[in-house]
Amino acid sequence: MPVIIRDINWEETDINLVLHIPMKGAKANKLDVLSSDQYLKVSFPPFFYEVFLYDFVNDDKSRIIVQNGFVEVTLTKQNPRKWNQLSHPQSEDKEIMKALREEALNQISLKQKQRAEANSSLLNANKREAVREQMKLEGAERNRIDTIKKNERDKVSEEMKQFEENQKIQRQLAMQNHIESNEIQLKEENNGTEKKKTIFEENTSKNSLPEISLEPKLSTPLRETCRIAVNFTSRVFPTPLRESQTDIEEQWLRKQVESRQASTDLQLDLSEKEKDIDYLKGKANQFFQQGNFQSAIGVYNHAIRVFPKVATLYSNRAACHFQVRNMMKCVEDCSRALELLDPPVPDNLLQRVKAHVRRGTAFCELELYAEGLLDYEAALKLSPDDEKVREDAQRIRNFLEKNQDFS
């Protein structure tokens, strides 16, 4: 049952009214205060104090301080004057006090509602302002990037123009040098012809002609024909050898060797069927086709323990997890398969496309559409002619654009 506090002290001036209410050993965090223009209630269970004030006060300027075991309430009067008494003259009339209490509670409820609406309006305004500022920043960033791109394009255009002018000047110089060289050569040939003519005339005058040999002279002997045998180095990959792909292919082959060695070490205590990866795949596929996905997962779990670096096992187990709606496990297995399919080579292209598509679908099932779109775009980059993947990627992109919230 509530206990009414009566031993309070109060003092007043023409402007303010100060009340000192003892807290009776209660803690400050349990203090509850209700106040209006003519009503004040301070409660800290099981104690409480209420008063119907003699005149009106300005509730918005009221101040409450808890210190030294007392609650100090400072109220500002609406009409500056001394009251000489604290309570309402009719505070003994229960009906009037009940009406005043209901009016005060309604006033307090109205103020709280107005305060909540003001806070909500302020919050929404702040959100809208934040969105506008974000859009301004993004617009400024786009303008900055466009400016950088334009400057780079202008720079490249200027460099190309300068390069073409230099090429034109070099061609003109080369042509001029060629003409000068031809003129010099022609001049030398004319001089030689004149000299030969002079010598011929001198020999003719002496009735002696130079001997002319009609046999052709060979400066170098003809080369002998032969057959050259060419042997090509055998390759594991069907594509031609390229220096830029050498390190990637060697890394892939090393991973395959490590996988086979790890599998060999683990298979020492297993039966022949438990060590046969083709048998395990066939058994798991049989369970999968029968719709017994949990059994298929169990077979793949054993196969992965024996062959921990075979990407196909993780990819197939991801398909089983997808069927039983275990999307997080599906994402993990697809990610592990993509790790094992590194470095990317033509032999594992189809496996990488399937892993990206399956992981993207699992992300979409988890409502992580942005992550799913990234995987579909990665698959489309690997297989640009796949119309099904292109349509699914566009469908996810349209969904994101439609549901994007800017408010």
More confident residue, 385 or 62: 385
Please give the full DSSP string across 136-188, using - where no structure is assigned: HHHHHHHHHHHHHHHHHHHHHHHHHHHHHHHHHHHHHHHHHHHHHHHHHHHHH
Q: What is the pTM of this model?
A: 0.37
Q: How far is CA 53 from CA 47, 58, 233, in A?
A: 20, 12, 105
C-beta atoms surrounding 345 within 10 Å: 19
Contacts of 296 (CB under 8 A, 6+ apart): 284, 285, 287, 288, 317, 320
Query: What is residue 233's predicted lDDT score, i.e. its pLDDT?
Result: 72
pLDDT at 319: 95
CA neighbor of 306 nearest in space, from 330, 340, 339, 272: 272
pLDDT at 133: 87
Residue percentage of the chain with pLDDT more than 90: 26
Q: How many residues make up the chain in this entry?
A: 407
User: Are the C-beta atoms of 57 and 38 separated by less than 8 Å?
Assistant: yes
Beta bridge partners of 216: none
Over pLDDT 70: what percentage of the chain? 85
Q: What pLDDT score does 221 carry?
A: 67
Query: How far is 11 from 86, CA to CA, in rounded Å?
Result: 9
48: nearest Cα among 13, 79, 24: 24
Beta bridge partners of 48: 4, 43
What is the side-by-side strand order in the sheet with 9-12? Answer: 9-12, 16-22, 70-77, 57-67
196 vs 47: which has the higher pLDDT: 47
Lowest mean pLDDT among 117-121, 147-151, 237-241, 332-336: 237-241
68-82, 185-199, 329-343: which is most confident: 329-343
Closest CA to 256 of 283, 237, 242, 238: 237
Enclosing H/E stretch for 16: strand 16-22
Across the range 68-85, mean pLDDT stands at 85
- Dig out the tokens for 148 from the structure: 């950088």
Q: What average pLDDT does the chain have?
A: 81
Say how many Å lie between the first and final Cα of the chain, rounded: 50
- Asked whether the predicted pLDDT for residue 192 surpasses 50, the reply is yes
Q: Which residue has the higher pLDDT, 164 or 189?
A: 164
Non-local (6+) Cβ contacts of 185 within 8 A are: none
Q: pLDDT, tens digit, for every residue of 270-324?
A: 566 777 888 999 999 999 999 999 999 999 999 999 889 899 999 999 999 999 9
User: Inter-axis angle of helices 349-365 and 387-403, to 10 degrees?
Assistant: 30
Query: For residue 96, is pLDDT > 80?
Result: no
**Could you tell me which residues are beta bridge partners of residue 49?**
42
Q: Which residues pair with 376 in a beta bridge?
A: none
